[in-house]
Every structure is written in C-alpha cells, then in structure tokens.
Copies of this chain bind each other. A is one copy, B any other.
C-alpha cells in the first residue's frame, strides 16, 4: 500500500488525477535514488511519452505544496538542480560527499529534539526542515588529506 500513498492522498484532497500525474508520482515513488526534474521527466516519459517539462514542474509544485514530497539541494554537487523525495515520517539528514558524490541519509533523535527546541524557544511553526551536510565520507576522508593547499590555487569549483 506504500505505493498508492501519494495517489490516495491526492484523491482525498479532491485533486484531479491525470495520466501525467500518475506517471510522475509513480516514478518518484519507485525511485531508488534522489531524482531531479530532468531525470524525472525522462523516466516518466516512458510511461507517458507526451509528457512535457512544464507539467513535471507543475506536478512537483503541487506535491511540494501539499507537503507530500521534499525538495533537496544535495549541496549542488552537480549543478544547480533540485532533487525530490517522498516525505517520510521523521525528517532525515543528508550527507553529501565532495569526493565521490555519495549521498547518505542519517536519522537521529537529536534532530527531532533540536526541532522541538526551536518550536518551543523561537515560537516558530516548522513546516519544512532541511539539513544537509557537505564533506567527506570515510573512504574519501582518508584519501584527500594533504591535497588542500594546492586546490586553493587551481580550479575554483563548487
């Protein structure tokens, strides 16, 4: 039933279901990695060949507004794209490795406590929480030591 989650949610809100929306939603839900709008379009077009870029963006906008998906930057490791994932129970943290591009997810009760503290202390009503960390995964961490000073003088990427 995990798979009908988003669809049901839309129906219950009285949102019109079209084959295009079904295609986009299906792709987001089956996705094994975080997809950007472009990949989403390519994959969904296999189910609905006439699907247009604009419709993908509009559907993303809709799902974002309904808080059914979350938007991520993943430290802009490869361009200024945005990535999307189905919203889950608890928020999780994304770790992005500058070395190999790996994305890892992480959950912690401390994160929930932190959000709770903010709600309480600042009186802020949290709707979206995005915590992204950039750095080096264990493998790349040992590998990149010593390359620092040089890099400064060469390419200024990211």
Contact = CB atoms under 8 A, between A and B. Distances in A.
B151 A123 contact: no
A135 B127 contact: yes
A118 B134 contact: no
Interface string A97-129: 110000010101011011101100111111111
A31 interface: no
Contacts of A121: 106
The dominant DSSP class at the A interface is mixed
A73 interface: yes
A110 B113 contact: yes
Nearest to A114: B110
A138 B124 CA distance: 6
State the number of copies, please. Answer: 2
B133 A128 contact: yes
A151 B157 CA distance: 40
Contacts of A123: 137-138, 141
B131 A136 contact: no
A97 B114 CA distance: 18
Interface in A131-152: 131-138, 141, 151-152
Interface in A70-117: 73, 75, 80, 93, 95, 97-98, 104, 106, 108, 110-111, 113-115, 117
A32 interface: no
A65 B124 contact: no
A144 to B, nearest CB: 9
